[in-house]
Amino acid sequence: MSSTTASQKATEPIIHDVFEQDTGTWQYVVADPSTNIAAIIDPVLDYDRATQSITTRTADSLLALVKEKGYKVDWVLETHVHADHLTAASYLQRRLGQEQGYSPSVAIGKRIGQVQKFFGQRYGVPEEQYGVVFDHLLDDDEKFEIGDLQAMAMHLPGHTPDHMGYKVGDNVFCGDSVFNADIGTARCDFPGGSADSLYSSGRKLLSLPDNVKIWTGHDYPPQGRSGPRAYMTVHEHREQNKHLKDGITEKEFVTMRNERDATLAAPRMLHQSLQINIRGGRLPTPTEDGHRMLRLPLDLKGPEW
């Protein structure tokens, strides 16, 4: 975990980047230095596939950080419905409501409804369990406040159709759209994903001023890199990003992305993540005997069944 301390300019936040090793997820606590009001972006709930156990170790470390720094959290921001980790949004909202006397708003992009409906039907999740689980649905380019800081929601479709990034000062938290330069970009083969849209979103990010920092949602450091890295500047991406650097055409990108995506295995927590995350991190309603159940589709191989 590291932090970037803001300058005296009121437009720049304090940023704490917290890496969750198991899923390679970057979580962020973004705070206004003048009011100590903060937002948490893309928090992780720990899940063990072998035991089907859910724990809150990672989320509790975020709570400890918030308490240590004296922050009050007004927002828990989701960039999209993640397919590779469970969100801790609901847990943090409940705990922060108890600890700070009011609950932060859990926010996500306004297109979340189409994603919830699609996966709700696929997994048999009753609509009442996902219909109203987010407090605020953000419009494209909607401005909102984190203390005295002005933030803006940026629609960045491609990885998913509902995907949002969040611009705060000279920083964009881009979720699963642009990764670090030696990895490139995220996959686009989920329902509603689009390589054409991701290229446009990438160029939108890379058209920002050179000094803007793009904070990624994940990192999977390749061999030879010393460890995970939370951000790179627009200038660095334009020079180095293996998928989006200047000179790569949309046709080249779309061909590469579609061919690469066709070879990728499904995320290892795909089904568990989607069923929890369309609920905003809330757990399934218990059965009559008290169990909370998820559905896992079988992948039948070999002769016809």
Give the separation between CA 18 and CA 203, rounded to whole angstroms.
27
Q: For residue 90, give its domain range.
A: 2-277
The verdict on residue 266 lying in a domain is yes
pLDDT single digits (tens) 200-228: 999 999 999 999 999 999 999 998 899 99
Average pLDDT, the chain: 95
Band of the pLDDT at 188, cuts 50, 70, 90? very high
Domain membership of residue 299 (yes or no) is: no
Whether residue 9 is predicted with pLDDT greater than 70 in this model: the reply is no
Least confident of 1-5, 40-44, 75-79: 1-5
Over residues 11-28, the pLDDT tens digits come to: 799 999 999 999 999 999
Determine, yes or no, domain membership for 290.
no
Residue 282 included in any domain? no
Which domain CATH number covers 124? Answer: 3.60.15.10
Structural domain count, the chain: 1
Residue 305 pLDDT greater than 90, yes or no: no
| 291 occurs within a structural domain | no
Average confidence (pLDDT) over 235-254: 98
Please give the pLDDT value at position 10. 55
What's the whole-model pTM score? 0.94
pLDDT of residue 83: 95
Confidence of residue 3 (pLDDT cuts 50, 70, 90): low
- Read off the pLDDT of each residue in 87-102 and give the average, rounded to a whole number: 97
Please report whether residue 195 resides in a domain.
yes
